[in-house]
Structures are given as C-alpha cells and as structure tokens.
Amino acid sequence: MTAQEISRPVKGLGLCSGGLDSILSALVLKRQNIDVTWICFETPFFSPASAQKASRMTGIPLITMDITDPYMEMMKAPRGGFGKNMNPCMDCHALMFAKAGQVLEKEGFDFLFSGEVVGQRPKSQNKNALRYVEKNSGFDGRILRPLCAGRLPETPVEKAGLVDREQLLDITGRSRKVQMQLAKEFGITDYPSPAGGCLLTDIGFSNRLRELMTVQKKFEKRELFYLKNGRHFRLDDETKVIVGRSRYDNAHLLKHYDAQKDLLIKHARMAGPDVILTGQQTEKNIQTAAMICAAYTKAKPGEISEINITGLDTIDKKDRIRVETVHSDRFKDLIIQ
C-alpha cells in the first residue's frame, strides 16, 4: 500500500527494549507524523520493565507479549547460532519481528521497525545479520531501521512513500555520540545502558541454562525462573536442589515456587536458606536435599538437624525429617558451575 492509498496516519509498530536506540527510533518516526506503537516481549530471560518505563516517559503506547514457549523452541537449535553465551541474538530478533508481524497483520499496522544500528554489534548487527533477521522473520520488506536506514538499501516501506527516507538517519558503528546528541534534542535523559537486562548474555546464567537444557531436557517455565537465583545442585537427570544464598535469593525463589510440583525444604530451628527440590521426590533425593539444606545453616558438622519439608509428596507424608549435618564441601561435586 502506498501513502496516497491510506486515508489515515501511517502506522508503525516498533520493537522496544527500553534502551536509547529503541526510544530514538520511535521518536525519529514520530517527528514525521507517523503513528507509532511499541511492542515488547517477555520471557524468563528479559522483562518488559525498561520498555514500560520508556512508554510512560514518551507516551508511546506499548503492547507486551509473553513469548516463552516459542522462544524455548527456538533455543533448541537457533539457526544463526549463539553469541558469546546462550544469547541467540539473530534468531531472537527474527522471532520478535515474527511475533510483531502477527500483531501488524491483526491490528493493521503498515510496517515494523526497530532501533538496530548497523555495525553496532559485530556479530548480531552487521548488514548480513540484519538481512538474516528480515528473511527469517517472515516479514521481509516490511521492516525499517530508522536509525541506520541511510546505510541500508531503500526498503519497500520507503519506496511506497510511507516513510520519508530523507528524514531517517545514517548512524553506524559502536560510537553512541549521535544518539547522545539526538537524546538531548528530544529531551531524553533517563534510559538504561545499552545491552543490559538480558540474562542470556550472562555467563553464570548461561551455564545453568545450558546444563538444564542438555541434562534435563524437559522442564517447566518456573524452573527457568529458578535459574536466576541460588546455588544449583544436580542430583539426577530429572532432579535438582536449589539453595537460596541470601534473603534476596530466597524471596525470588519463593516467588516462583509451586507447592503442587516442588518441595520446599527449611531448617526447623535455625535461620538458613530456602531450599527447593525439583524433579523426583524419592526418599533418597529428599534426604540429600535436607542434608544440603542443613549444610548451609550454622549447624555444626555431626549435629542432628531437623528439617521441615513442605509440598505434596513428602516421604511417608511426614513433614519433618532428621539428618546428620555434614560440611557443605561434601556436595561440591553436585554443584552446577
């Protein structure tokens, strides 16, 4: 459709991470009277919080979509591979554009856009990577990158006159000088640092996720949330013990704890970690989890610790067991590094 054939403002739907580049990409379009809306995505690896903040700050409407299931499917074998850690950036962007494209079709947007800048990230934001994302999104020809459009071939969106190419930018590379200047012009002072906020770029989180995906294979969403906090121990292919290391860990683990599925294990008489057992609730595994729990309290090796077990299938329906306290080193071979 060309601009002449549309009797309403042209509508663009942009991916928003909440970072400066996504904010600027929308404002650059808004400046030429395009009606912009953002879409942001939610998984256990990244949250919509920054995008929500950007939306409040700019008044640009935001659609939020949970894409955990298709995301985990993609993570099994991302065709563009992983970055330094478990971040499949090219396929991640392709999936996000694919999901945004579904909204475009349903809600009647005219094109998609993002704040990607060619050359900003050597592996995931070079010209080939941007092409890969377009082709694999299923919306080739309908994606615009307003911040670096001048460095890329003219898109059908520009050719149709939906967007004035002359008013788009030609930023390239890793320097953020132009973006800072533009932020000043638009009066944007508060935005998160670039590349922050995705756990898939974190080495520790990536190691735990890789272990879960390769050893356990079958797992549920809450187990992905558990990966964010605590020390993780592998008991067998289906079973893990997660030990909160701080009040913060404990609180976050409990937020996702499901009493219908997992056991919650705590020292009955002493302050100590919240411990979660996922997987096989066998007598042996409960015993080991209780001993791990005791080992991370102030109980002395050799002392008998009484441990509370909360959840559905506790051994013999008892909710308290007694274990001998041992040093935590005894379990170091079970720790997932």
Query: Residues interacting with ligand SF4, by CB under 6 A?
Result: 46, 87-89, 92-93, 198, 200-201
CB of 202 to ligand SF4, least distance (A): 10
Cα–Cα distance, 215 to 333 (Å, whole number) = 15
Residue 260 sits at φ, ψ, to 5 deg, of -80, -15
**Residue (92 or 307) nearer to ligand SF4, CB:** 92
**Residue (90 or 163) nearer to ligand SF4, CB:** 90
Query: If you ran DSSP here, which 8-state letter would residue 11 be given?
Result: E
**Residue (88 or 146) nearer to ligand SF4, CB:** 88
Cα–Cα distance, 104 to 162 (Å, whole number) = 15
Cα–Cα distance, 229 to 36 (Å, whole number) = 37
Distance from chain centroid for Cα 221 = 12
Q: In what order do the strands lie in the sheet with 143-144?
A: 62-66, 35-42, 11-15, 111-113, 143-144
CB of 88 to ligand SF4, least distance (A): 6
**Residue (46 or 191) nearer to ligand SF4, CB:** 46
CB of 260 to ligand SF4, least distance (A): 31
Distance from chain centroid for Cα 73 = 14
CB of 39 to ligand SF4, least distance (A): 14
CB of 43 to ligand SF4, least distance (A): 8
**Residue (10 or 40) nearer to ligand SF4, CB:** 40
DSSP H helices in the chain: 20-30, 49-58, 68-75, 89-107, 127-137, 156-159, 177-186, 203-211, 221-226, 247-256, 283-295
